[in-house]
Structure 1
Amino acid sequence: MDWSKIKTIFILTFLILDVYLLFQFMKIRDADQYEFITEASFEEKLEAEEIRYKELPKAPIEDQYLSAKPKMFTKDDITKLKGQTALIKEPTTALIVKLDKPISLKTKFEAAELTPFIKDNVLYGSQYKFWKKDDKKNTIVYFQHYENMTLYENLSGMLTFQIDDHNQIVSYEQTYLEDIAKMTEKEEILPPLKALETLHQKGALMPKSKITKVELGYSTLIQLAASQALAPTWRFVVDDKESLYVNALEGQIIEFNSDGN
């Protein structure tokens, strides 16, 4: 046995392996550098266009798709309403209720005014969050939330108070999503900066605009008569006025029929 030849073969083998590993390392390093350069250039674009944003939620964040179904309100639900009268017959997915005694509002409305009433008198009241007061429609809107995350613009999880000409709440309409369950395993979602980049690439961000709020919630991905699928969704509030939404798992921009505020 020629030990000299065997030794030479081993040396050459390890040398080839070292070269291969070095080549793979250089590829990974170059890819990381390219990704960093790409991200930095986007931030430079924002700076050049004077688009400012608050501190973004830190990645990585994991979330998942949810399933839910609209609740059918029945006679048993209606009998729980005190000092209120249901204006439609059951069963129904939209409960319309008239208050026996209207609620007077302050000239400058604050959401805290309605908190005690909602908590004590509205079915599942603790599961709704204030969304907006619409002076044109004379309404105050609340959306249902799940695990402290808002179900954005979801007509099946909504509480809408009607205000009369005397600045009093006289009635409300309620919808509610029940049996909310996790559809998939958790996975890492799109970082908020990447979602912001999607909005920028599509021309949704105007120069000199300011992102005043960034939060994560859910929006309807698929809606059927008896159920719906919900997707994790980034919400970016621009200049305290307009809301822009991006699917946090798939990355596409979401547009609603109504304006989010």
Structure 2
Amino acid sequence: MDFRRIEIIFLVVFLSLDVFLLVSFHNSQQVISNSTTGVTSTLTDMRKRNITFGKLDKKAGQAYYLGAQQSNDLADNTSKLRNQEIEYNQTSYKLMSTLEEPISINSDNRKSKLDSFMKKESNILFGSEYTYSPQLSSSTQLVYAETGPLGVMYDKTGQLIFSVVNGKVVSYTQTYMKTLDILQEKQATKSEQDVVTNLYSSSEIPNNSKITYTNMAYTKLLEAKGSTIYIPVWFISIHNKDSKVDTVKKVNAFTGNILKTSSNGEDYSNE
């Protein structure tokens, strides 16, 4: 056997492999560089068009597909509530309450007053499991989202909504998901910066506007056989400086697809 020839063949193979790996590495670095340059150019263009925003996180995160089954935990605990007129809808699993003594609030103290009110179980069931959601709230509705160790839920199946009339909280509705189950291992999610720049590139952010709030939360993907599946969604609040109108854009955090709202109020992807 010609060992010298075999050595030469192996040397050529290894040299070829080294060249291939070197070229691949160079190309990958070039792609990353081009991507970074493209994002920087987009952010610069946004500023030129008077779109203001804070520092955007470039780091991708991780999240789950979650599942849950609706239950009657609210109905089973209504006897704990005091000084309220209670109704419960067995179909929508929704508790509806009218307060016997409305709570006076203003723009400065509304959150602190309701936070204090929710601490008592005789006022709100499972109140410690909800957090205030400014993106979902308005002057007539104050929304608290169910929050657990896996994240925040921006969905009507896990919300506490206070109704405000003439500066007073007069009633509330509540839905509650007791347990959220992990359906798959963690998956990568789009970064805050990726989502915002993609929204701009898709003409979803108007000139002369301000990004006032960004947050990633779980929301319903679909229902099947009594179970609900949730995915992480980026909620981007945009204030139009010309019209003074605030809008919220929703983006699938896994895919980056923009979610639209259908006539029945359900979200769906336009891609």
SS in 1 for 2:231: strand
The answer to whether the 8 Å contact 2:210/2:239 transfers is: yes
> Structure 1 pair 23/86, CA: closer, same or farther in 2 (3 Å)?
same
| Alpha-carbon distance in structure 2 between the residues aligned to 1:49 and 1:99 | 47
Partner of residue 124, structure 1: 126
Shift of 1:189: 1.8
- Does structure 2 retain, via aligned residues, the 8 Å contact 1:73–1:95? no
SS at match of 1:44: helix
The whole-number CA distance in structure 2 between the counterparts of 1:63 and 1:175 is 23
Please give the residue correspondences for 1:130-209 in structure 2 after superposition, counting only pairs within 5 Å: 130-132=132-134, 133-135=137-139, 138-147=140-149, 149-152=151-154, 154-165=155-166, 167-209=167-209
AA aligned opposite 1:158: Q
3-state SS of 2:194 partner: helix
| Match in the other structure for 1:249 | 254
Q: Displacement, 1:210? A: 3.5
* Mapping 1:62-101, distance limit 5 Å: 62-73=62-73, 76-88=76-88, 93-101=93-101
Check 1:115–1:251 CA distance in 2 against 1; reply closer, same or farther (3 A cut). Answer: same
CA distance in 2, matches of 1:250, 1:210: 24
Shift of 1:93: 0.6
State the 1:11 CA deviation: 2.2
Q: Percent identity?
A: 23
Matched, 1:34 2:31: yes
Measure the CA separation in 2 of the matches of 1:60 and 1:83: 47
State how many pairs are aligned.
251
What's the TM-score once normalised by structure 1's chain length? 0.83
Contact 1:151 1:218 in 2 (8 A): yes
Residue aligning to 2:16: 19
RMSD: 2.7
* Equivalent residue, structure 2, for 1:6: 3
Structure 1 gaps of 5+ residues are none
Residue 41 of structure 2 is matched in structure 1 by 44
What TM-score do you get using the length of structure 2 for normalisation? 0.80
Distance 1:145 1:33 in 2: 41
Cα 1:92/1:205, change in 2 over 3 Å: closer
CA distance in 1, matches of 2:259, 2:247: 13
Amino acid at match of 1:183: L
Query: Match for 1:80: what amino acid?
Result: K
